[in-house]
Amino acid sequence: MSGELATPAQTIRFGSGIRYELAAEVRQLDRHHALVLSTPEQSEIALDVAKRLGVMASGVYSGATMHTPVDITEDALKYAASVGVDCLVSVGGGSTTGLGKALSIRMGLPHISIPTTYAGSEATPILGETADGVKSTFSDPAVLPSVVLYDPDLLVSLPQHMTVTSGLNAMAHAVEALYAKNRTVETTRLAIEGLEAFRQALPDVVKDPKDIKAREMTLRGAWACGSVLGRVGMALHHKLCHTLGGSFDLPHAAIHAIMLPHATAFNEVSVPDLLAPVATMFDAEKSGQALWRFASDLGAPLALKDLGLRESDLDQAANLATTNPYWNPRQIDHNGIRSLLQDAWNGTAPM
């Protein structure tokens, strides 16, 4: 199973074992000194990738972490300068891809991404960085990786809880795209395509993590969901997740998994027609409730309190989320967001 998608800005390749063609991709970029990036938890994979690159690997930096802290990026810049690199290879999920993007735009170097989760960051020109406890995002074509190699074999060992939360994280990108202010016929089609891929295949990979066909379908869904996120504006869901992640240091994918049904239900009041495709594909009356049931059936985390967020933090979270809010199809007010956060903290199904 392999394939390639032609996009103006990226080379996108899918297939079992496609990561073994990394050296050829580095040569195709006319580069010779790669810095391989990962989180501490995935350092062994990064070392294996570096070993396969041989003399084209200048070093391995395994300090990537959630929410792309600027101090980590600065540390990685120093390391990159010390070993001499002319391209970047990120192996991992959104944390590692984010570090690759941050280095790429600062150093002006091409970036090859090998995703090991469904985060979708590799398909977007968006970078979110955290400094002094506040996460901010911006979009720039220069942060888009030059090459993405989607190898379903790398996801076989992805822990089940990460498979579920990462998949729901990807779905959140597509759900928001359905009601984005600058949505188009094409972005809506792509969003529905990505959501449908996860609806079909995510339960299959939870049931059998070694189902390579289903894994590749979820990766294609991740590309679709991530790609559409890079083409439209973000709204309430992503504002809430950036607030909770950047200011309270909560795990990125798990936040998305928990907040998705609640943010969807909140906006469904104002744009039920735009969210109708979600309800339809799940054969449900309301999309927010359908997503909550889907997450619950997959064993996803449902409550912010289980991530370590204190109930006493909810007022501050509501304040942050309603300060400089993103555009949203439903008017955002403090009381409404505070109530939404309470439900998400409790883990109750949205109404």
Predicted pLDDT of residue 269: 97
Q: And the tokens for 150? A: 């989607």
Predicted pLDDT of residue 119: 87
Predicted pLDDT of residue 93: 92
- Whether 10 contacts 148, CB under 8 Å: yes
Do 169 and 257 belong to one domain? yes
The domain boundary, picked from 155, 173, 192, lies at: 155
Instruction: State the CATH number of the domain containing residue 179.
Output: 1.20.1090.10
E strand or H helix that includes residue 58:
strand 57-61
The segments of the chain whose pLDDT lies below 50 read 1-2, 6
- Whether 67 contacts 121, CB under 8 Å: no
Predicted pLDDT of residue 7: 56
Of the candidates 174, 132, 170, 145, the residue with the CA atom closest to the CA atom of residue 287: 174
pTM, two decimals, is 0.89
Do 224 and 151 belong to one domain? no
Domain of residue 214: give its range.
160-346
Do 129 and 251 belong to one domain? no
∠ at Cα 313 (307, 316), nearest 5°? 130
* 23 burial level (CB within 10 Å; 0-12, 13-18, 19+): middle
∠ at Cα 108 (169, 190), nearest 5°? 30
- Separation between Cα atoms, residue 330 and residue 200, nearest integer Å: 30
Per the domain annotation, does 71 fall within a domain?
Answer: yes
Start-to-end CA span in the chain (Å): 42
Neighbours of 8 (CB within 10 A): 5
Query: Dmax over Cα atoms in the chain, in whole Å?
Result: 58
The domain boundary, picked from 126, 155, 184, lies at: 155
E strand or H helix that includes residue 36:
strand 34-37
Is the alpha carbon torsion for 12, 2, 157, 60 positive or negative?
A: negative
Q: And the tokens for 136? A: 């901010």
Do 265 and 141 belong to one domain? no
The domain boundary, picked from 110, 137, 155, lies at: 155
Q: And the tokens for 110? A: 């091409």
Of the candidates 182, 202, 350, the residue with the CA atom closest to the CA atom of residue 281: 202
Predicted pLDDT of residue 1: 37
Per the domain annotation, does 351 fall within a domain?
Answer: no
pLDDT tens sequence across 74-130: 999 999 999 999 999 999 999 999 999 999 999 999 999 999 999 899 999 999 999
Do 10 and 84 belong to one domain? yes
77-105 burial, b if ≥16 CB within 10 A, otherwise e?
eeebeeeebbbbbbbbbbbbbbbbbbbbb
- Separation between Cα atoms, residue 16 and residue 213, nearest integer Å: 9
Domain count, the chain: 2
Do 257 and 285 belong to one domain? yes
Predicted pLDDT of residue 3: 63
Per the domain annotation, does 42 fall within a domain?
Answer: yes
